Structure 1
Amino acid sequence: MRTLRLSVRARLTAWYGGFFLLAGVVLVALNYVLVSAQLPQVDSFAIAVGGPPLGPADQTQVVTTLEDYRSEALNTLLLQSGVGLVVTTALAGLVGWVLASRVLEPLQAITATAHRLEVEDLGRRINLDGPDDELKELADTFDGMLDRLATAFDSQKRFVANASHELRTPLAIQRTLIEVALADEHASDDVKRLGGHLLATNVRSERLIDGLLLLARSDRGLGRREPVELDHLVEDALYTFRHEPQDISLVAEPVAVLGDAVLLTHLVTNLLRNACTHNHQDGNVAVTVRGTNPVLVVANTGAVIPADAVPGLFEPFRRLADTRGGGAGLGLSIVRSIALAHQGNVTAYPIDGGGLCVEVNLPVTDVRSTATYGKIT
């Protein structure tokens, strides 16, 4: 059952109108009691007017007339007071709506500023004018928070850029030195064997650093948003996996999502690499792109995965005990981080008989006709 959701302005108007109506009802009731007490009482009227005693018929007529008079007067009072109360309550509700709108204008300005904020554009501020009250204090506090956030984001971007340069440069130099040593025709077998191990370690270190930097970048959110043809992006990514021994199939609908094409390419590539790495030699990978949620689905064969172990796969550096392939355990963490940066989400569940199915939900901006593709060659 859906709960009715009222805005703050509507609730303030309802409270204002409700209290006004309650006060009006109390006032009408008090007025009714006072007027009723001032009207002549039937029992004491004959004594009050004096004069010769009345006969039974005349007494009955006087009582009936007085009762009709009192009843008509009180009914008229209630009717006119009720009409006046309804009209003034409606006017009070209209005035309450206008006053609530004026009072909530600063909050609307704060909300509008928050909606317009982007990671690459944290320079927007509210700069609220007006009396030095609680709402202006709130707006100034929000502006101060944005100043601190902008400083933190700038510091993080500089750190990531510097770390990228400082970490990649020595690894590139090491790789070059190892390759030069391995290319020496006089190198012994032990040197070549050691060089091969060092080169493999160097490659894993480079992948780990690239993954960590990508994870840090996606955790910052999106710097820009643009329409991305997800089906074309998946096709291009699958082309790089054409030499994999697994059978890779694709069923795709042309779908456009709003986001960063580079980050989405990393998302798809990490999903495909994870599906191929943690798979049987003669296994298969099924990729589906569709316009209804989930937008992207990647399912693969492989070892049986316990259901309680699946949530941990999205944590950095978390791998199953029997996982092979030399990965750093960042693939699904990066996928989740990129999906969250696009206001999406990722879910996964084990497949009966072995393997994993990963579903990615992303905001869809366009859906068109369906296309089916077979084996990627």
Structure 2
Amino acid sequence: MTTIRVRLTLTYSGLFLLTSVVLLVTVNLLLRRALDTRIARLSGGPVAPTAPLQGVPVDRLPPQPQLPALVDDVIGYQWDVTTVTVGVLALVSLVVGWLVAGRILRPVHRITATAQRLSLSTLHERIALAGPKDELKELADTFDAMLDRLERSVAGQRRFIANASHELRTPLAVQRAAIEIGLPEDVGEIRDTLLLHNRRAENLIDALLVLAQAEHGLDNRSPVALDQVVRLVLAERDPDGVTVTGRVEPFTVDGDPVLLNRLVTNLLDNAVRYNHPDGTVEVTLSGGVLTVRNTGPHVPQERFGDLFEPFRRLQTTRGQGAGLGLSIVASIAKAHGADVRASPNPGGGLELVVVFPRTPAPDDSSRR
């Protein structure tokens, strides 16, 4: 694929060469016509005798060149020079065209570099292109204005998430306290049902807030020992009648420790929840690849596209969540530059794989 700089260089060089060739050919043709006209005039008039040289016999004088042959020699030499000149001009035009095109496209490269650096944590950067007010300056100013609007929009969404986190959790906490204190334990299933729905509402709000935070990217990054995160989640998770095994190798991820903990927790919760009684869950971390494999029901191939979509569940039961677990995993993985993929196990269940990018981790060797 040719770049704009190459196309501009070829265009400049082609136009320059076309103009040069037309000019040189025109000059040569006019020169030939002028010489032919002058020779015709000389041939029609009297020719003055040439004075003999002193001491040289007349019959031994060198033959005088014929004027038409002399003209042909001059014009032939002129065409040779023209050919060489066109070749030199071709090389010069390519070099000059390449430099001029690079100079013209330099603001475009600056705009592209700024756009490639942009993320939700670097929306404060601007192009701030200086120079004459031309089309490129107008493009850069338009891009900066768009970044201003985008930064204000993201700031408003972040304020909404922070406010919603407080405004939604507070009444649910009050409601839960009222249920636990106000209703005696001997009222039967009513108290347990209210607490169950209260807990599900809290989990839903927490999941939505985490999903919104993950989709907005990472504001701050720090080295996180992912192997320690996996070990902590494995130690805290209730197996709930499922055999959970883990094999973890040291690995460091540049990201957010809270979100990474939520990613591993959601993967393990999903593997335990959608499993057979006395089933198994295998968790491995090797070379930056986190794999969670479980036994469980068969997943149709046509439903794999729904696994990472919000509020999509393959099975609906009373004790299951809102269908946000794997969508949160996908959003957190994307925020950390990781890839997520799912594949079916031959005997049923899923294999979920998260591939993290490798980052320099000087402390990995010390933990080994």
Match of 1:285 among 274, 281, 285: 281
Residue 142 of structure 1 is matched in structure 2 by 143
Tell me the CA shift for residue 16 of structure 1.
2.2
Q: Pick from 194, 201, 207 the counterpart of residue 203 of structure 2.
A: 207
Kindly provide the amino acid, as one letter, of the partner of residue 98 in structure 2.
W
- Worse-matched range after superposition: 352-361 or 26-35: 26-35
| Contact 1:278–1:325, Cα closer than 8 Å, also in 2 | no
Given the superposition, is the C-alpha separation of residues 316 and 86 from structure 1 closer, same or farther in structure 2, using an over 3 Å criterion? same
Answer yes or no: is the 8 Å Cα contact 1:119–1:223 preserved in 2. Answer: yes
Alignment counterpart, residue 317 of structure 1, candidates 302, 311, 314: 311
Could you tell me how far 1:105 is from its partner in structure 2?
Answer: 2.7
2:359: which partner in 1? 365
Q: What are the superposed Cα offsets for residues 209-258 of structure 1, whole Å, 9 maximum, x if unpaired?
A: 00000111111111122333323322222222264432333344433333
Deviation at 1:67, TM superposition (A): 8.6
Structure 1 counterpart of 2:58: none
Amino acid at match of 1:312: D
CA distance in 1, matches of 2:89, 2:196: 83
Q: Give the corresponding residue for 1:123.
A: 124
What's 1:262 paired with?
258
Q: Structure 1 272/67 Cα, relative in aligned 2: closer, same or farther at 3 Å?
A: farther
Pick from 321, 333, 339 the counterpart of residue 339 of structure 1: 333
2:10 maps to 1:9: no
Equivalent-residue separation in structure 2 for 1:323 and 1:170 (angstroms): 27
Structure 2 counterpart of 1:234:
230
Shift of 1:34: 5.8
| Contact 2:35–2:71, Cα closer than 8 Å, also in 1 | no
Q: Is the 8 A contact 1:347 1:360 kept in 2?
A: yes
Question: Who is 1:306 aligned against?
Answer: 300
Distance in 1 separating the partners of 2:249 and 2:15: 56
Q: Give how far 1:194 is off.
A: 0.9
Q: Read off the aligned partner of 2:157 and give its amino acid letter.
A: Q
The 1-side partners of 2:293 and 2:90 are apart by: 62
Secondary structure, aligned partner of 2:342 = strand
Conserved in 2, the CA contact under 8 Å of 1:118 and 1:223?
no
| Shift in CA distance, 18/346, structure 1 to aligned 2, threshold 3 Å | farther
The within-5 A match list for 1:343-354 is: 343-354=337-348
8 A contact 1:255–1:366 mirrored in 2:
no
Q: Report the 3-state secondary structure (helix = DSSP H, G, I; strand = E; otherwise coil) of the residue aligned with 1:245.
A: coil
Structure 1 residue 283 displacement after superposition: 1.6
Deviations 1:164-223 (A, max 9, x none): 1111001111111222245x4xx53xx242111111111111110000001111111111
Q: Is the Cα contact below 8 Å between 1:231 and 1:253 reproduced in 2?
A: yes
* The one of 6, 16, 19 aligned to 1:20: 16
Could you say what secondary structure the match of 1:109 adopts?
helix
Kindly name which structure, 1 or 2, has the bigger radius of gyration based on alpha carbons.
2
Report the alpha carbon displacement of residue 134 of structure 1 after superposing the two structures with TM. 1.0
1: CA distance, partners of 2:229 / 2:2: 40
1:179 aligns with 2:173: no
- The number of equivalent residue pairs is 346
Do the aligned partners of residues 272 and 38 (structure 1) sit closer, same or farther apart at CA in structure 2, a change above 3 Å counting? farther
Contact 1:249 1:285 in 2 (8 A): yes
Which segments of 5 or more consecutive residues in structure 2 lack a partner in the other structure?
Answer: 47-66
The aligned counterpart of 1:96 is: 97
Sort the Cα spacing of 1:75 and 1:122 in 2 relative to 1 into closer, same or farther, 3 A: same
Aligned-pair distance for 1:39? 7.8
CA-atom RMSD in angstroms: 3.5
Q: Which has the higher contact order (CA 8 A, sep 6+)?
A: 1
Distance 1:342 1:74 in 2: 73
Q: Distance in 2 between matches of 1:322 and 1:232?
A: 33
Instruction: Determine helix, strand or coil for the equivalent of 2:128.
Output: coil
- After TM superposition, the structure 1 = structure 2 runs for residues 26-175 of structure 1, keeping only pairs within 5 Å, are 26-27=22-23, 70=72, 76-175=77-176
CA distance in 1, matches of 2:327, 2:272: 17
Q: Deviations over 1:247-281 (max 9, x none)?
A: 33334443333322222221111111111111112
Paired with 1:248 and 1:21, the residues of 2 have a C-alpha distance of 75
Say if 1:99 and 1:204 are closer, same or farther in 2 by CA, change over 3 A: same
SS in 1 for 2:359: strand
Query: Higher mean Cα deviation, 271-280 or 227-236?
Result: 227-236
Q: Distance in 1 between matches of 2:139 and 2:148?
A: 14
C-alpha distance in structure 1 between counterparts of 2:246 and 2:69, whole Å: 90
Report the 3-state secondary structure (helix = DSSP H, G, I; strand = E; otherwise coil) of the residue aligned with 1:258: strand
1:296–1:13 CA distance, 2 compared to 1 (3 A): farther
Q: How high is the sequence identity, in percent, across the aligned residues? A: 47
How far 1:357 moved relative to its partner?
1.5
Farther off after superposition, 122-131 or 31-40: 31-40
Question: What's 1:218 paired with?
Answer: 214
